[in-house]
């Protein structure tokens, strides 16, 4: 970023407190520019729809978008992103940078399920995905809906990734048993699942970012499921009115300074920058992780919808 940044920056992002805090730390980092910041926080799908409409009608829209990775991939598929090759990405593995230069990964959210050990008896705790079809779990499982995508595609792409991992025949049988025997409760947003499991409204919740657990809530690791994680990514919109300020902000999120701050202060978000010091000294083994979704997953949405309908996923 060589040109002087504009005096304004518009950022679209999630409700996550960490991303609210980015704006404050960014302004403190560059007080000489006195950039006026506007932040719009919303779920991923409303964000995508808002950007589409603003661009379609020639309205001012975001300069920068930072959201779960599928949001950025959808915007790329729609042709709404600007190429930007930040020099800071030289420090990042290939998983966290788009080969076309349209996005960068800034954080990692491991994906798991959780269960309430007071609700689910030890003998009934699933060890494989096929165990989730146990009739003893009927009425005890909650999931983010793959049909109601009003908030996002997190669960949608989780089940799509399982389809790719298990193979079509095995996946169809497992999911039919799951739907028939368990009748999972489908919710539009996954953010409240942890609360529902903690207070024993349900015994098992999935899928979920691997956030701090407590009370009687434990992480549920399924042996036949790949070690999955989703990125939080950042991109600059092609219609950005303040591209230089956007590049400055983009670089700040990739910087060692902010990545270290995120690793120290943020719960459930792991820095994407290698060798970043974290609060508990933990290291995340990215070589053993399948990041989802891929661009191919995004292009195959219609196929996944058809498969989900066939097995009755809610």
With both helix axes pointing from N to C terminus, report the angle between 69-77 and 44-56 in degrees, rounded to the nearest 10. Answer: 30
Q: Give residue 276's pLDDT band: very low, low, confident or very high (50, 70, 90).
A: confident
Contact 104, 86 (CB under 8 A): yes
The pLDDT of residue 140 = 96
Domain range annotation of the chain: 8-108+230-282, 109-228+298-311
Contact 44, 151 (CB under 8 A): yes
Which has the closest alpha carbon to 176: 130, 238, 235? 130
Q: Give the chain's length.
A: 314
Average pLDDT over residues 249-273: 89
The pLDDT of residue 228 = 93
> What are the CA-CA distances from residue 40 to residues 15, 19, 89, 164, 185 (Å)?
9, 11, 26, 34, 30
List pLDDT tens digits, range 25-79.
898 899 999 999 999 999 999 999 999 999 999 999 999 999 999 999 999 999 9
Q: Enter the pTM of the model.
A: 0.93
CATH of domain 109-228+298-311: 3.40.190.10
The pLDDT of residue 269 = 82
Q: Which helix (H) or strand (E) holds 290?
A: strand 290-291
Q: Give residue 211's pLDDT band: very low, low, confident or very high (50, 70, 90).
A: low
- DSSP codes, 58-75: T----SEEEEEHHHHHHH
Token code pair at residue 4: 């002087």
The pLDDT of residue 263 = 85
The answer on pLDDT for 120 being more than 90 is: yes
Q: Give residue 280's pLDDT band: very low, low, confident or very high (50, 70, 90).
A: low
The pLDDT of residue 278 = 74
List pLDDT tens digits, range 136-158.
999 999 999 999 988 889 999 99
The pLDDT > 70 percentage for the chain reads 94
Average pLDDT over residues 8-34: 87
As beta bridge partners, residue 41 has: 13
Q: How many CB atoms lie within 10 A of CB 178?
A: 23
The answer on pLDDT for 295 being more than 60 is: yes
Pairing of strands 8-13, 290-291: unpaired
Which has the closest alpha carbon to 235: 97, 111, 60? 97
Which has the closest alpha carbon to 5: 203, 250, 178? 250
The answer on pLDDT for 16 being more than 80 is: no
List pLDDT tens digits, range 83-102.
999 999 999 999 999 999 99
The pLDDT of residue 215 = 54
Q: How many CB atoms lie within 10 A of CB 218?
A: 16
Token code pair at residue 177: 């048993």
Average pLDDT over residues 119-143: 95
The pLDDT of residue 311 = 97
Is it true that domain 8-108+230-282 has CATH number 3.40.190.10? yes
The answer on pLDDT for 235 being more than 90 is: yes
Contact 114, 220 (CB under 8 A): yes
Q: Which residues contact 231 (CB under 8 A, 6 or more apart)?
A: 68, 69, 95, 96, 105, 106, 107, 108, 109, 272, 291
> What are the CA-CA distances from residue 114 to residues 220, 272, 278 (Å)?
5, 24, 24
Same CATH topology for 8-108+230-282 and 109-228+298-311?
Answer: yes
**Which one has a higher pLDDT value, 170 or 263?**
170
Q: How far apart are CA 264 and CA 279, in angstroms?
A: 4
Average pLDDT over residues 212-222: 73
Q: Give residue 216's pLDDT band: very low, low, confident or very high (50, 70, 90).
A: low
Q: How far apart are CA 163 and CA 142, in angstroms?
A: 19
Contact 173, 128 (CB under 8 A): no
């Amino acid at each position: 970023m060589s040109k002087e940044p504009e005096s304004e920056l518009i950022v679209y992002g999630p409700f996550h407190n960490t991303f609210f805090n980015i704006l404050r730390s960014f302004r403190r980092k560059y007080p000489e520019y006195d950039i006026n910041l506007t932040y719009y926080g919303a779920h991923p799908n409303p964000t995508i729809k808002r950007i589409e409409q603003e661009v379609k009608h020639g309205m001012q829209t975001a300069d920068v978008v930072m959201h779960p990775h599928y949001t950025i991939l959808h915007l790329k598929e729609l042709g709404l992103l600007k190429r930007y090759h930040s020099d800071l990405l030289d420090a990042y593995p290939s998983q966290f940078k788009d080969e076309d230069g349209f996005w960068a990964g800034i954080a990692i959210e491991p994906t798991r399920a959780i269960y309430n050990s007071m609700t689910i008896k030890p003998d009934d705790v699933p060890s494989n995905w096929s165990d989730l079809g146990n009739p003893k779990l009927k009425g005890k499982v909650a999931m983010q809906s793959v049909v109601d995508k009003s908030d996002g595609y997190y669960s949608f792409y989780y089940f799509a990734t399982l389809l790719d991992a298990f193979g079509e025949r095995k996946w169809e049988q497992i999911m039919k048993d799951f739907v028939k025997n368990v009748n999972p409760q489908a919710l539009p947003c996954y953010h409240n699942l942890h609360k529902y499991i903690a207070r024993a409204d349900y015994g098992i919740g999935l899928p979920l970012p691997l956030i701090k657990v407590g009370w009687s809530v434990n992480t549920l690791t399924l042996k036949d499921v790949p070690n999955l994680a989703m990125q939080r990514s950042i991109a600059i919109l092609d219609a950005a009115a303040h591209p230089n300020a956007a590049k400055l902000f983009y670089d700040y999120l990739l910087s060692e300074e902010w990545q270290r701050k995120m690793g120290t202060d943020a719960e459930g978000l792991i820095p994407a920058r290698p060798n970043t010091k974290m609060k508990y000294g933990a290291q995340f083994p990215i070589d053993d992780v399948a990041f989802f979704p891929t661009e191919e997953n995004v292009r195959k949405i219609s196929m996944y919808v058809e498969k989900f309908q066939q097995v009755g996923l809610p």
